[in-house]
Amino acid sequence: MSNQRGRAKPSLRTAAIEKAEAQRAQAARRASRRRKGIVGACVAVVLVVSGVLFVVLRPTRTAPTVPPSADAVRFGCAGCHTTDGKRSEGPTWKGLYGSTVTLADGRQVVADEDYLRRSILQPQADIAQPALGQMPTIPLTQAQLDRLVAFIESLR
């Protein structure tokens, strides 16, 4: 046997305090793990939702519908001509520039800048087939005509 004294037993009060501190520390560790788990779950949800939104809202490979230019709206052109490929009272402007157009008299012409200018300024000169309606003559300035032809060209 040794002459050293054994460690004294802690009092009940000290033991209760130590036990409570150990429980608080353990609870804090659990809460920290729980918070990390919640944050991780939130991050996972955000990533999944972001992925779904990307797939749903990403632009398609088809060209978006181009809104008509301000001049096309102001002069009423957009009422008869579309920019999305659908035919209306007048031919669509989508893909018109550079295409071959069959006229009412059977001739075929290329819808180049000269054809577009002539068709806009003198609509009865070269009527595209099938003729669905009669385009009115609209007085345009040179700048307005340039913008309108450039807009139609941009819809290739």
Question: Which H or E element spans position 100?
Answer: strand 100-102
Question: Which H or E element spans position 102?
Answer: strand 100-102
* Long-range pairs, 83-88, Cβ under 8 A, ≥24: 83/155, 87/132, 88/132
Q: What is the pLDDT along the chain (156 residues), one digit of tens a residue?
A: 555 666 667 677 887 788 888 888 888 787 777 777 776 667 667 766 776 666 666 655 554 455 667 888 888 888 888 888 887 888 888 998 999 988 888 899 999 999 999 989 998 888 887 766 788 888 888 988 888 999 999 888
pTM (2 decimals)?
0.56
Q: Provide the residue type at 37 as one letter.
A: G
Q: Reduced to 3 states, what is the DSSP secondary structure of residue 108?
A: strand
114-148: b (≥16 Cβ within 10 Å) or e? ebbbebbeeeeebbbeeeeeebeebebeeebbebb
C-alpha closest to that of 119 among 101, 106, 143: 101
The CATH number fitting domain 70-154, selected from 1.10.490.10, 3.30.450.40, 3.40.440.10, 1.10.760.10: 1.10.760.10
Q: Look at the block and give the residue holding tokens 């669905």.
A: 132
